[in-house]
Amino acid sequence: MAGTIPHKPRILVPEKVSQDGLALLSGEYEVDSRPQGVSPEELLTLISDVDALIVRSETKVTAEVLRAGSRLRVVARAGVGVDNIDVEAATAGGIIVVNSPAGNILAAAEHTVALLLATARNVGRADRITKAGRWERGKLVGVEVGRKTLGIVGLGKVGMKVARMCIGLGMKVIAFDPYANPDLVRQTGVERLVPRLVDMLPEVDFLTIHTPLLASTLDLIGAAEFSLMKPTARVLNVARGGVYNEAALLDALNNGVIAGAGLDVFTKEPPEQNTPAWELVHHEKVISTPHLGASTVEAQENVAVDVCTQVAAVLRGELPTSAVNAPLILPEEYRALKPYAKLIERMGGLYTQHFASPTTPAGIGGRHFELVYHGDLAGVSSSRPLLAALVRGLVSPFSDTGGRHVNIVNATAVAREKGIVIRETHAHSGSATGGEVYASSVTLRALAVPEGTESQQDRDKKDGGDAGSQVIEGYVSGNTAYISRLDRFEASFSPEGTLLILHNHDEPGKIGGVGSVLGRHGVNIRFMQVASLAKRPKSLENGRSEVVVLGARDDTQAMRASSLEEGVKKNGNEALMILGIDGDVGKEVIEDLRTAEGILNVSLVRL
């Protein structure tokens, strides 16, 4: 019998994608390009014999579509966001999801500068008046941007590019970003990082925000923030609709609290009539554009070439450069490590939200960590998925992808960008705490001193076991992850869902008081645990250490001192109250808990 001819892998492109990218695929693969678009019903029919799917923002890649794609190996988003792709369903089906996180950085930064200059010189209003046949120069006097102060919230790739451009325009640039790498910021030429957003607002002449839209950044700038700004200040948004409270911005413009705005994004696009967004679009003090941040010929070409290159790599059995849902290792290896990767990712998210919240000036930028594997886990042949899981967890609370963009391919680069250094230690002991022995357990320790200046044993002797007391320990039972130690407290809880962690004096009545506060706000408690002080921290014994330098820094910031120490000394015993909750927990709930008698600190953690 004659051998069968293998089919050419088939690639479906149900939207308009730059031909520069598709040209990379046309020779080796069968490309079905449909720039006019396809209906959801047509997509379900077409996907059954497709090996790769390349989309932009219009096509909804649902779990149903992914299930119908029995041959599907990779879904590529020609852009940054993957909100239109069910990433969890793709992961469950073994389908790789890739995107192009860097293809439109320059375009977004340039559009920000365009809006800055347009608002400074009243370009939009001048254009409308002139085209209407009126020559009203006296009403259109603008301001120069040179020697003015630009405030940037969020120094990611776009924020950094904006900073460099505006420094080139002769502007003074200051910034707020709890997670920025201070060394990289200084090299960029940013004059300084401010510890709090409110410290910057009275000083700036222009304010631009470059953050993802998360619970912590929704309505980041509202009436209270606008009231702190100069009446001559102007604000810009080429990031996400919702970071400015649109109703508060409209009031600020109408009442002369600020002078103008340049807006490219809105909470709903296009804005609906009779909404604040609609009024902002038509406001004489606003330059408005229809989400053009990434709409350049070059940006569309860049993202298309990027994702098409990655699709070709995946179809050849190679690793992509921007996999959203990696790690990519052999299935049997990943099955063994998957519960521990989940544990370590949750430990990273718990660390960032409990120890290094957005209110902490240092954040995680420039931090050094030690990841200690105990027991059977210490003998793993490749710990790259575990390292990637830690980086993913550390950055997930302030990432619009929830950290899914971090994988074993790009974890090193992400960590280096944040100045994070991670050292692995293989301890070969069972329990990390000296209590019940588990086959495998993990310790995450934030180091208080730069690597190389002290041995772990020296730190243990000096600090009673754990430098700086910022420690999280955990283990896996079955497929369920548990936290066995948090800071100086012994615990036993599963890190999932929404958690409230309260540091309090260990006195009668505290549980009832907390329950009353939450009850008044309609917050339901799923579980509650009181964690007591650990009796005896255990040092590492007979461990072998491997240093994995994932960051670019040679030093580390000193661990923040506990602001709670004085209160603890006055009242003696202390404890942690850990609550799993349902319901909306806003700033008012947190503030009521913080001001309750005997409560030393409160952190809200979402995992």
Q: How confident is the model at residue 397 (pLDDT cuts 50, 70, 90)?
A: confident
- Give the number of domains in the chain: 3
Tell me what the mean pLDDT of segment 33-46 comes to: 94
pLDDT for the residue 355: 87
> The CATH number of the domain where 546 resides is what?
3.30.1330.90
pLDDT for the residue 419: 85
Q: How confident is the model at residue 407 (pLDDT cuts 50, 70, 90)?
A: low
Q: How confident is the model at residue 544 (pLDDT cuts 50, 70, 90)?
A: very low
Quick check: 349 pLDDT over 50? yes
The reply to whether 555 and 406 lie within a common domain is: yes
Q: Tell me if 181 is assigned to some domain.
A: yes
pLDDT for the residue 1: 41
Question: What type of residue is 388?
Answer: A
The reply to whether 510 and 587 lie within a common domain is: yes
Q: Residues 112, 156: contact at Cβ < 8 Å?
A: no
The reply to whether 218 and 206 lie within a common domain is: yes
Q: 310-324, 441-455, 510-524 — which one is most confidently predicted on average?
A: 510-524
Q: Which helix (H) or strand (E) holds 28?
A: none
pLDDT for the residue 333: 61
Q: Tell me if 2 is assigned to some domain.
A: no
- Residue 229: CB atoms within 10 Å: 23
Please, what is the average pLDDT of the chain? 83
pLDDT for the residue 319: 67
pLDDT for the residue 83: 79
Residue 489: beta bridge partners?
A: 486, 533
Ranges 83-87, 212-216, 497-501: which has the least confidence: 212-216
Q: Which helix (H) or strand (E) holds 604?
A: strand 599-606
What are the catalytic residues? 240, 269, 291
The reply to whether 98 and 112 lie within a common domain is: no
Quick check: 532 pLDDT over 50? yes
Q: In the structure, how many helices (H) and strands (E) does the chain have? A: 20, 23
Q: Tell me if 363 is assigned to some domain.
A: yes
Q: Tell me if 322 is assigned to some domain.
A: no
Q: Tell me if 159 is assigned to some domain.
A: yes
The reply to whether 448 and 581 lie within a common domain is: yes
The reply to whether 127 and 96 lie within a common domain is: no
Strand extents, DSSP E, 34-153 = 52-55, 74-77, 96-98, 149-153
pLDDT for the residue 432: 56
The reply to whether 499 and 587 lie within a common domain is: yes
Residue 493: beta bridge partners?
A: 483
Q: Residues 240, 267: contact at Cβ < 8 Å?
A: no
The reply to whether 377 and 492 lie within a common domain is: yes
Q: Tell me if 3 is assigned to some domain.
A: no
Q: Tell me if 178 is assigned to some domain.
A: yes
pLDDT for the residue 282: 95
Quick check: 431 pLDDT over 50? yes
pLDDT for the residue 392: 87
pLDDT for the residue 191: 94
Percent of the chain scored above 70 by pLDDT? Answer: 82
Q: For residues 1 and 534, which has the higher predicted lDDT (pLDDT)?
A: 534
pLDDT for the residue 247: 97
Q: What digits encode the pLDDT tens for the residues 94-144? A: 788 999 988 889 999 999 999 999 999 999 999 999 999 999 999 999 999
Ranges 60-74, 343-357, 402-416, 510-524: which has the least confidence: 402-416
The reply to whether 443 and 486 lie within a common domain is: yes
Give the long-range contacts of residues 19-24, CB within 8 A, separation 24 or more: 20/301, 20/304, 20/305, 21/78, 21/301, 21/303, 21/304, 21/305, 21/306, 21/307, 21/308, 21/309, 22/304, 22/308, 24/305, 24/308, 24/309, 24/312
pLDDT for the residue 79: 85
Given 288, 323, 355, the domain boundary residue is: 288
Torsions phi, psi of 12, nearest 5? -100, 130
pLDDT for the residue 332: 57
Quick check: 396 pLDDT over 80? yes
Q: For residues 216 and 443, which has the higher predicted lDDT (pLDDT)?
A: 443
pLDDT for the residue 260: 97
The reply to whether 273 and 133 lie within a common domain is: yes
Q: How confident is the model at residue 215 (pLDDT cuts 50, 70, 90)?
A: confident
Quick check: 360 pLDDT over 50? no
pLDDT for the residue 118: 97
Quick check: 596 pLDDT over 80? yes
Quick check: 5 pLDDT over 80? no
Percent of the chain scored above 90 by pLDDT? Answer: 52
pLDDT for the residue 4: 44
Q: For residues 437 and 547, which has the higher predicted lDDT (pLDDT)?
A: 437
The reply to whether 546 and 587 lie within a common domain is: yes
Output the CA torsion 490→495→499→503 (10° steps): 20
> The CATH number of the domain where 181 resides is what?
3.40.50.720
Q: Residues 467, 559: contact at Cβ < 8 Å?
A: yes
The reply to whether 477 and 575 lie within a common domain is: yes
Q: What digits encode the pLDDT tens for the residues 312-325? A: 988 887 767 788 87
Full domain range(s) for residue 511: 331-606
Quick check: 44 pLDDT over 90? yes
Q: What is the 3-state secondary structure (H, E, C) of 215-273?
A: CCCCCCECHHHHCCCCCCCEEEECCCCCCECHHHHHHHHHCCCCCEEEECCCCCCCCCC
pLDDT for the residue 549: 37
pLDDT for the residue 334: 59
Q: In the structure encoding, which two tokens stand for residue 536, read together?
A: 């005896």
Q: Give the strand order in the sheet containing 599-606.
A: 524-531, 574-582, 498-505, 599-606
Q: Residues 365, 407: contact at Cβ < 8 Å?
A: no
Tell me what the mean pLDDT of segment 367-396 comes to: 87
